């Protein structure tokens, strides 16, 4: 699989070429400001103590406190956390929120942990990084295999809700956070639909990944009477040219645990899903899914990257050559971190916003970000990824503290 961090560096280099002054500052963006690598000691239920490698990487805080999730996964490593931390700085800057970028992780397989042990990893993470986290320093959130439960534990450990976002509503979480990534992606797509020549009456959608981001996006499409022709999960995909009954897909997946055998649809592979004829292809699963190998066979008109890092730079060039518009992750999925910022803002001000207030603010932020990125794409006659990186660089440089 292509190296995720190297791919980020290539994306950055391609945007820096747009502006010589920015190029001179490239080191500021290629190297995280702080890399914290520590060891968590976990006392297992059987009395044994094990050591777990743990990371917090703080990429850039010129726009505000570092912001980014904590991942629990056996494959967590420094390079992956660096890539994710770097992307967060660009994402918060594109979204125009006063936050920077960071990310954390613990190299552990949560499937091997009891509930108590997993809670303990979260608590120990808070204790281990107590000196570098804080409401005005660095504000984590959930990521792969972490949820509101772990965030509630970290907030309790610090005694302040604003130290993390993605908490349960009872512990200071925000309404609308669970649907924010997909909803934000929808607002970006809607803001650009005329420029993309997408007719909502006729365009179709294929979604890779039927989890939080992908399944919520499918629901939003249904609400807007947009046909979802294919979805997939890690095991398989399903396709129906006339459109899937998304509510029935949810019920089927809930009762059987997968999409295999869903009635009234054709079974397809994940590879086939990516190559379907459709209006909008939505990668919402893993990184590095669209590469130079399969990009020549992609037939969608638009790719909306709800996943982080699903397209390699080599694939970007092939897609651009074919006239396929890629709406990049740092714009397309920035709705999640935007509502995370709203949660932090509510906690800092001791306020509680209604779902309608959150949604209205999210819409405004995402539409504004989409229009701004499009304007730079036109100005530089480039693709949306370079334009989005440019917007983010421009904003970070303008916020750079003067020492």
* Exposure on the CB side of residue 45, measured as CA atoms within 13 A: 8
Q: Is 103 a catalytic residue?
A: yes
290 strand-pairing partners: 311
Of 14-22, 33-41, 120-128, 209-217: span binding ligand NAD (CB under 6 A): 209-217
Q: In angstroms, what CA-CA distances link 254 with 53, 147, 262?
A: 34, 19, 12
How far apart CA 222 and CA 236 sit, in angstroms, is: 21
Judged by CB under 6 A, the residue of 307, 327, 331, 370 near ligand NAD is 307
Is residue 288 near ligand NAD by the rule CB under 6 A?
Answer: no
How far apart CA 55 and CA 39 sit, in angstroms, is: 8
Judged by CB under 6 A, the residue of 312, 333, 338, 346 near ligand NAD is 333
How far apart CA 138 and CA 154 sit, in angstroms, is: 13
Is residue 181 near ligand NAD by the rule CB under 6 A?
Answer: yes
For the bound state, the minimum distance from the C-beta of residue 257 to ligand NAD, rounded and expressed in Å, comes to 10
Q: Is 397 exposed, middle or buried (0-12, 13-18, 19+ CB in 10 A)?
A: middle
How far apart CA 23 and CA 328 sit, in angstroms, is: 21
The Cα angle at residue 35 between residues 333 and 106, in degrees rounded to 5: 65
**Count of residues of this chain found to bind ligand NAD when the rule CB under 6 A is applied:** 20
For the bound state, the minimum distance from the C-beta of residue 221 to ligand NAD, rounded and expressed in Å, comes to 15
Segment 253-272, which members bind ligand NAD (CB under 6 A)?
Answer: 270
Q: x-or-dash pattern for ligand NAD, window 223-242, by CB under 6 A?
A: ---------xxx--------
**Is residue 105 helix, strand or coil?**
strand
Nearer Cβ to ligand NAD, position 22 or 362?
362
How far apart CA 395 and CA 392 sit, in angstroms, is: 5
How do beta strands 101-107 and 49-60 pair?
A: antiparallel
Nearer Cβ to ligand NAD, position 204 or 340?
340
Is residue 209 near ligand NAD by the rule CB under 6 A?
Answer: yes
Residue among 103, 118, 253, 301 flagged as catalytic: 103
Nearer Cβ to ligand NAD, position 100 or 214?
214
Judged by CB under 6 A, the residue of 300, 306, 370, 393 near ligand NAD is 306
Is residue 70 near ligand NAD by the rule CB under 6 A?
Answer: no
| List of residues contacting ligand NAD (CB under 6 A) | 181, 208-214, 232-234, 270, 284-286, 306-308, 333, 336
Active-site residue list? 103
């Amino acid at each position: 699989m292509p190296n995720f961090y190297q791919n980020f560096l290539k994306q950055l280099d391609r945007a820096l070429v747009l502006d010589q002054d920015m190029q001179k500052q490239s080191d500021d963006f290629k190297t995280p400001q702080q890399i914290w690598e520590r060891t968590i000691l976990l006392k297992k239920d059987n009395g044994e103590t094990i050591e777990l490698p743990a990371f917090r990487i703080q990429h850039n805080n010129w726009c505000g406190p570092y912001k980014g999730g904590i991942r629990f996964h056996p494959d967590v490593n420094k390079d992956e956390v660096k890539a994710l931390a770097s992307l967060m700085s660009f994402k918060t800057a594109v979204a125009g929120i006063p936050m920077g970028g960071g990310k954390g992780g613990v190299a552990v397989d949560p499937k091997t942990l009891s509930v108590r042990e997993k809670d303990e990893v979260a608590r120990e993470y808070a204790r281990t990084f107590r000196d570098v986290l804080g409401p005005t320093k660095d504000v984590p959130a959930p990521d792969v295999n972490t949820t509101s439960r772990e965030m509630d534990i970290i907030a309790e450990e610090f005694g302040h809700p604003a130290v993390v976002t993605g908490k349960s509503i009872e512990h200071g979480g925000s309404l609308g956070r669970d649907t924010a990534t997909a909803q934000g992606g929808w607002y970006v797509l809607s803001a650009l639909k005329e420029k993309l020549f997408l007719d909502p009456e006729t365009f179709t959608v294929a979604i890779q990944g039927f989890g939080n981001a992908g399944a919520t996006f499918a629901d939003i499409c249904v609400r807007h009477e947009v046909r979802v022709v294919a979805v997939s999960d890690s095991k398989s995909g399903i396709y129906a040219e006339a459109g899937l009954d998304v509510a029935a897909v949810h019920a089927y997946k809930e009762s059987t645990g997968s999409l295999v055998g869903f009635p009234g649809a054709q079974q397809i592979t994940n590879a086939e899903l990516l190559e379907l004829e459709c209006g909008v292809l939505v990668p919402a699963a893993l990184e590095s899914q669209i590469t130079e190998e399969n990009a020549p066979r992609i037939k969608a008109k638009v790719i909306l990257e709800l996943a982080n890092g699903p397209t390699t730079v080599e694939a970007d060039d092939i897609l651009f050559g074919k006239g396929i518009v890629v709406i990049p992750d740092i714009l397309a999925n920035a709705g999640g971190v935007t509502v995370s910022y709203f949660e932090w803002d509510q906690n800092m001000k001791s306020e509680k916003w209604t779902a309608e207030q959150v949604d209205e603010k999210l819409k405004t932020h995402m539409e504004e970000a989409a229009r701004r990125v499009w304007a730079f794409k036109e100005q530089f006659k480039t693709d949306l990824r370079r334009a989005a990186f440019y917007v983010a660089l421009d904003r970070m440089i303008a916020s750079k503290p003067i020492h």
